[in-house]
Amino acid sequence: MELKVLADVGLVGYPNAGKSSLLAALTAAKPEIANYPFTTLVPNLGIVKYRHHASFVMADIPGIIENAHEGKGLGLRFLRHIERNSVLLFMVPIESNDISKDYGILLNELKMYNPDLVDKPRLLAITKCDLVEKEWIDIIRPEIKVDVPFCFISSISGLGLVELKDLLWGMMNSDQP
Ligand SMILES: Nc1nc2c(ncn2[C@@H]2O[C@H](COP(=O)(O)OP(=O)(O)O)[C@@H](O)[C@H]2O)c(=O)[nH]1
Ligand SMILES: [Mg+2]
């Protein structure tokens, strides 16, 4: 049986990037959150409430990256491509030694898996920002060299989550992906 899931936003990140935690913070979903890789084998889906009346679907797809080359996992067939643009949200923890480089590696993994996905609108969330001082964010902001919009978030403190939703909403509803 082929599982088809429709999502507006797909979370792309290595294990431990904070995908499940973001889903838990923004939706009523209760994905398993753990400090080790491969916590779940099935996609977690949640509905993000936006402003007063809107909502969109977010999917935390474990195994996108780690199984990409073996062709295992559910891949990225889940992305919706009608009506709204589906958006890829890349996630890299602020603890990374080189955020821009890690973003590039993720993008490349995705490209090797399915080149079509590179055409999807995407943005980068730098996660776990509660782990650093606010000043540190301002210091590293100019250092980040990526070809997409980016923002700083924390699923624990809530930092940047409203801005993240605004960015995602704007992208999925824009005429120019
Ligand atoms: N301090 C902090 N830890 C986080 C945050 N988001 C996730 N984590 C921790 O990072 C680990 C992996 O999180 P998880 O959401 O399971 O990552 P996933 O593998 O990408 O789904 C867990 O120990 C989480 O508690 C965050 O915003 N701040
Ligand atoms: Mg997870």
Which CATH number characterizes residue 75's domain? 3.40.50.300
**Does a structural domain hold residue 158?**
yes
Q: Closest ligand 1 atom to the C-alpha of 131?
A: 1
Nearest CA to ligand 1 atom 14: 18
Q: What is the pLDDT of residue 74?
A: 46
User: What is residue 41's predicted lDDT score, i.e. its pLDDT?
Assistant: 58
C-alpha closest to that of 138 among 156, 158, 152: 152
Both tokens assigned to 123: 């943005």
Q: Which domain holds residue 116?
A: 9-172
Show the ligand 1 pocket: residues with CB < 6 angstroms. 13, 15-21, 33-35, 39, 127-128, 130-131, 154-156
- Please report the pLDDT score of residue 108 as a whole number: 87
Number of domains in the chain: 1
Q: Is there a domain that residue 139 lies in?
A: yes
The pLDDT of residue 68 is 47
Write out residues in the chain with pLDDT < 50, as ranges.
Answer: 1-3, 67-69, 71-75, 82, 177
Q: What is the pLDDT of residue 132?
A: 97
User: Is 4 within a domain?
Assistant: no
Give every CB contact of residue 166 below 8 A, 6+ residues apart in sequence.
none
Quick one: pLDDT at residue 4?
52
Q: What does the block give as tokens for 118?
A: 């590179």
Residue 15 within any structural domain of the chain: yes
Q: Is residue 164 part of a domain?
A: yes
2 assigned to some structural domain: no
Give the per-residue pLDDT at 39: 52
Give pLDDT, residue 72: 47
Note the pLDDT of residue 27: 94
Ligand having the closest approach to the CA of 90? 1
Ligand 1 geometric centre to CA of 16 (Å):
6
pTM: 0.88
Q: Any idea which residue has 């559910």 for tokens? A: 74
Measured in Å, residue 31 CA sits from the centre of ligand 2 at: 7
Contact 124, 152 (CB under 8 A): no
Residue 95 domain flag: yes
In a domain, 115, yes or no: yes
